[in-house]
Structure 1
Amino acid sequence: MSSEGLVSCDTFIVMRDSTVSGETIFGKNSDRPKGEIQEVVFIPSKKNESKTLKCTYIIVEQVPATYAVFLSKPEWMWGAEMGANEFGVVIGNEAVWNRLSESSHDLVPRLLGMDLLRLGLERSKTAREGLEVITGLLEKYGQGGQCSNIIHDFSYHNSFLIADFQEAWILETADKLWAAEHVETGYRNISNCMSITTKIDRCHPDLKSRAKSEGWWDGVSEFNWSDVIGNTSGDLENPGSRFSCGRELLKERCEGSKFNVKNMMEVLRDEASGINRPSGDFPTAGSQVSILAENSGIADIHWFTATLCPTRSIFKPVSFSMPNLLTDATSSDSDKSKDRKHLLWFKQDESTSNTFLQNSIEDKYIKSALEKRTRESFDTNLFNKAVEEELALYAA
């Protein structure tokens, strides 16, 4: 099964030269099959004694140490749709299809794109290192396996937006082949389409030779990744596509280098573009916004919804400078969960909460997180406090 008309996801980056604070701002909406639960969890750093690691489907080689991460993830899989690590690396991924997409091959259990994302976060200190981790594992193990526990025979290849404060990398894959674009200024977005064209800053070592031998490329004309690899999902040129709409939403808000955290939340909440899907077969199941600082004395802040539809949810802030133990109200492994629906998800699903009060709570915690991030440490976990207030709102 593959159709960009049915599925959607969007990831955004605005670099420091275009933001009001001179910091980098990341955002992603994760749209997933209706009925799938997305949880937000904290995984601490670890010294690993085992030489192997079981991901969603396959076992890979483990590394001696892994880094602490916050993840927004479908509850049934090992991997994640998006997240951040303790060194200020953030990653989001998208489903893509291309000339190498073939369900009989792609459904063979390998690493899911979401596994690659989590592995990239757990094993990298910079965005560039994250790129190298993901591409190295992709080339060694490949990608594949059922991408849903709800939809039968659902598979896809992946694109990624990998960023830290200093730079971002767009990584697009086709089976084990890949191309990457370096982003240092301005803004960039990815959707369910191959968006890299001729600006290829790194790629699979055999990409061009294979493209020529397969007859995909004449070996003379300028190499265009999107054209050569077969962009069979999404549309780069259609002004009504989510990719084009997302780019325009960023452009409007980056005018005068005034982009801020609230602007990214506005982009993720935009329904007219299809970026925010409040209902349907592939609703928006979780959202993330992150602000990444250059100064190590200033904390990065990551806002997660952990619930359906960002227009019905509150972005709640968390940082590695806060006490890291997260509330079990956003974990499907909690005793409070019902049929794998974590408590916050379950209560939101039942609620017809007041939007004005939601906005008021969110604004309060945005202000509090941004004010306190200059201190050496937070004395409380603001994510947990915001969840408590959100639960109280749903119970009202």
Structure 2
Amino acid sequence: MLQVLEFILQKPKPHGIWGGDCGSNEHNVSVAITWTNSSANNLTALDIVRITLASCDTADNALERVGQLITEHGVEDVKFSLIICDPTKVWLVSCAGKLWAAQSLSEGYHHVPRNGLAVTTTIEKSSEDLQEALKAMGCWDGEGEIDFASCFNSSPDSTEEWSGPEPVGDGSYALASMFETLRTAAQATTSRSATVFVLCSDLISCHWFTGTPDTSESVFKPFLFATKPKISPLTKALADNEMTLLHKLHSQRKAASLKHLKALETACVEEVSAYLAEHPEVNEELDELMKDCVEAEVKFYR
């Protein structure tokens, strides 16, 4: 039986912040930051993402690892939320200091808040003795349910809505729809890049990245954990510069190029989806997939 979980994160990212806020590994585990108040001098959410992806092969393992890291290394006043996925499980995790709380997300579509701690009153797993710790801190009086985000004055914005048309459960909201949702979200605020993870248990998982600033004027390119995947030199940071050559070329684009690029993206989605439906295992034909797509894109920038 085919099990597929497609998940997107609507989180515009400020220009100038570089990498590490989301990722996936060869075990089909994906981790992404949904919000953080940041702290450059201590264990940060970026570190948590990298460490978790390097050591975990399921979403449940990743949740346990995050809990261990927070319990052992969490720092007061550092707060953030993560989303952890594999093909069959999704965890939303909020962390504050050395405490954490998590809830699982069921099938369907979920809007994850980009401001504040995402876990509120639905808590399925948490730090050991969370209730006692919150009472000792004066965050909870022991009466009624715990609102984790509220305990740390970091409740998410309850007025935030889905960007663009909200998906319905009739199967019409597909991969291309996710791309447009992220483009719509990017129009409302400054955005650096966007990612869509398509995680499959019985087929090859595919990860779609823009890799360029301003998602509203970017196209998505596919990456697979192929036999020996090759990444284009265009996506590597230039010497003494955080900007990649792809980033630089994209910043010099002409407005008319987006129409042609979106047509290229549509064709790519159709071809890749058809290929993966017929080939359940990776092979050397896929090694240069992202490299070829990036190099096809930059032809429209030059």
TM-score past 0.5 threshold: yes
How big is the alpha-carbon RMSD for the aligned residues of Structure 1 and Structure 2? 2.5
- 1 CA distance for matches of 2:233 and 2:75? 31
1:276 maps to what in 2?
Answer: 186
Q: CA deviation at 1:156?
A: 5.3
- 1 CA distance for matches of 2:267 and 2:205? 18
**Residue in structure 1 matching 2:33, options 93, 96, 101:** 93
Tell me if 1:28 matches 2:9. Answer: yes
- 1 CA distance for matches of 2:148 and 2:79? 15
Q: CA deviation at 1:95?
A: 2.5
2:201 maps to what in 1?
Answer: 294
**Residue in structure 2 matching 1:210, options 106, 124, 133:** 133
Q: CA deviation at 1:29?
A: 5.0
Residue 369 of structure 1 contacts residue 382 of structure 1 at CA under 8 Å; is this kept in 2? no
User: Which structure 2 residues correspond to residues 143-162 of structure 1 after superposition, within 5 A?
Assistant: 143=75, 157-162=79-84
- 2 CA distance for matches of 1:226 and 1:340? 34
Instruction: Give 3-state SS (helix, strand or coil) of 1:256's partner.
Output: coil
Q: Could you tell me which amino acid in structure 1 is paired with residue 45 of structure 2?
A: G
Deviations along 1:192-222, one digit per CA (max 9) or x if unpaired, are: 2223222100011132112112222121212
- 2 CA distance for matches of 1:312 and 1:338? 26
Q: CA deviation at 1:392?
A: 0.5
1:346 maps to what in 2?
Answer: 248
2:258 maps to what in 1?
Answer: 355
- 1 CA distance for matches of 2:187 and 2:33? 17
- 2 CA distance for matches of 1:29 and 1:255? 19
Q: CA deviation at 1:132?
A: 1.1
Residue 10 of structure 2 contacts residue 111 of structure 2 at CA under 8 Å; is this kept in 1? no
1:187 maps to what in 2?
Answer: 109
Q: CA deviation at 1:174?
A: 1.0
How many residues of Structure 1 are paired with residues of Structure 2 in the alignment?
296
Change in 2 beyond 3 A, CA 1:346/1:231: same
- 2 CA distance for matches of 1:261 and 1:125? 25
Q: Could you tell me which amino acid in structure 2 is paired with residue 276 of structure 1?
A: A
1:254 maps to what in 2?
Answer: 168
Q: CA deviation at 1:23?
A: 1.6
Tell me if 1:117 matches 2:49. Answer: yes
Instruction: Give 3-state SS (helix, strand or coil) of 2:186's partner.
Output: coil
Residue 338 of structure 1 contacts residue 346 of structure 1 at CA under 8 Å; is this kept in 2? no
1:219 maps to what in 2?
Answer: 142
Q: CA deviation at 1:115?
A: 1.1
1:325 maps to what in 2?
Answer: 230
Q: CA deviation at 1:253?
A: 1.5
**Residue in structure 2 matching 1:389, options 285, 296, 301:** 296
Tell me if 1:141 matches 2:57. Answer: no
TM-score by length of 2: 0.89
Q: Give the unaligned 5+ runs of structure 2.
A: none
Change in 2 beyond 3 A, CA 1:345/1:263: same
Instruction: Give 3-state SS (helix, strand or coil) of 2:115's partner.
Output: coil
Deviations along 1:135-167, one digit per CA (max 9) or x if unpaired, are: 2112212258xxxxxxxxxx9521001001101
Larger helix percent: 2
Change in 2 beyond 3 A, CA 1:107/1:231: closer
Residue 232 of structure 2 contacts residue 295 of structure 2 at CA under 8 Å; is this kept in 1? no
2:58 maps to what in 1?
Answer: 126
Residue 183 of structure 2 contacts residue 217 of structure 2 at CA under 8 Å; is this kept in 1? no
Q: Could you tell me which amino acid in structure 2 is paired with residue 87 of structure 1?
A: H
Tell me if 1:315 matches 2:238. Answer: no
Residue 74 of structure 2 contacts residue 96 of structure 2 at CA under 8 Å; is this kept in 1? no
Change in 2 beyond 3 A, CA 1:347/1:156: farther
Specify which structure has the bigger relative contact order, considering alpha-carbon pairs within 8 angstroms and separated by 6 or more residues: 1
Change in 2 beyond 3 A, CA 1:348/1:165: same
Residue 87 of structure 1 contacts residue 125 of structure 1 at CA under 8 Å; is this kept in 2? yes
